[in-house]
Structure formats: C-alpha cells, structure tokens
Amino acid sequence: MLKKTLSLFVYLVLIVGLGLVFRYFAIHFAEYSSSNISSRPLFAASLMDAQGKPQHLSQYQGKIIVLNFWATWCPPCREEMPELSQFQQAYKNKNVVVLGIAIDDLDSVKEFLQTSPVTYPILVTENSGMDLSDQLGNDQAVLPYTLIINADGNVVKSHLGRINKQLLETAIKPLLSR
C-alpha cells in the first residue's frame, strides 16, 4: 500500500513539475515572439477615423503606442475602454498615444461612441482589420488584442484579452525612462 501511494505521489509531482516547466517556456516564448513582431504593416496602413476621414498611421511613428484592436460587439473590449481613456489622459504629454482600431463598420462605431466617448483616436476597419491584427501577431484572432510599441517602432509587448491600466503602466514605465 505504501509503495502504491509513494508511486502515485511521484507521478503527481512529475506531472506538476512538467506543467510548471511548460508554463515557464510558454510565457517566455510568448514574450520572445512579441519582440519579433514587425510594426511595418501598422505604419504602412491608412485607416478611416471615426468621422470617416482617412488617417495614415505613419503619423504616429516616433511615439510610444498602445494599439488596441476591439469591436463594438465585444464585451471585454467595451469594459477596458474607460481604463484606456484614463491611461491616455495620464500619459498624453509623455509621447504616448493609445490607438483603438475597431474591427467593425463605421456606423456601428459612430453609434457606440455617442454613448461611450473615449479620449483617444479611434480608427475603423472591417475585415481588413483582422488581417492587420494577424500581421501584428494576433494569430488566434482574439479581441481585444493590445500591442505596446516603443518610440523606435519595435513591438515590446502583446496582450490577448482584456487589459487594464496597471498592466499598461508596468509595460510603459521602462519605455519612458529612455
């Protein structure tokens, strides 16, 4: 009986240990892979703003960018928008800009922004927005999807799912001291 219990315990420790090793490498691989994402597709793009006017994203080169892909039909996207607005207000004078790219139609975005205004630029694109998101590392097609791009145009962090102000501040602070 003791031998059977000890054997079960060893297998359990081995499984937990392998799980921790897998988690360690998965986290480090994700951080490594985000540093290999090229921001060139972003700066080459031209998207409509919420008023329907074309905007060249190259105008944001040289800034620290928090790039957030979202949609009006996405509950976590809508939940994080007030924090993104607060973050924009707190860091707008520090060469930081939050950019929201709506994967939606222009009319839906306009209607949404009337009831939920934001303090950062919103750009609108429909299906091609998911292509851009994929080119920028979102190979799982998840919304919301957020990237942190330093002033040199390098992607330093990517985040799938809802983000908050604390995570953004942790990612941005090292970039401000450069």
**What tokens were used for 62?**
């040289």
15 shares its domain with 44 = no
Angle between helices 165-176 and 75-91 in degrees, nearest 10: 40
Cα–Cα distance, 37 to 57 (Å, whole number): 17
Q: Do 31 and 74 belong together in one domain?
A: no
Q: How far apart are CA 160 and CA 166, in angstroms?
A: 15
What is residue 16's predicted lDDT score, i.e. its pLDDT? Answer: 56
Total structural domains within the chain: 2
- Using DSSP, state whether 54 is helix, strand or coil: strand
What backbone phi and psi angles, to 5 degrees, belong to 57? -75, -10
Give the per-residue pLDDT at 2: 67
**What's the CATH number where 150 sits?**
3.40.30.10
What letter does residue 59 receive in the DSSP assignment?
Answer: G
pLDDT computed for residue 128 by the predictor:
86
Predicted confidence at residue 177, as pLDDT, reads: 76
| In a shared domain, residues 120 and 142 | yes
Whether residues 7 and 24 share a domain: the answer is: yes
Same structural domain, 23 and 63: no
**What is the domain range of residue 14?**
1-36
Give the residue ranges of the chain where pLDDT is below 50: 20-33
Same domain for 11 and 80, yes or no, is: no
Q: What is the pLDDT of residues 16-67, one digit of tens each?
A: 555 544 444 444 334 334 557 888 989 999 999 999 999 999 999 999 999 9
120 lies in the same domain as 87 = yes
For residue 36, the model assigns a pLDDT of 79
CA distance 12 to 6: 10
Q: Which amino acid is at 158?
A: S
Please, what is the end-to-end C-alpha distance for the chain in angstroms?
Answer: 62
Residues 11 and 61 both lie in one domain: no
pLDDT at 19: 52
Q: Domain check: are 119 and 63 in the same one? A: yes
Beta strand pairing status for 155-160 and 96-103?
A: unpaired
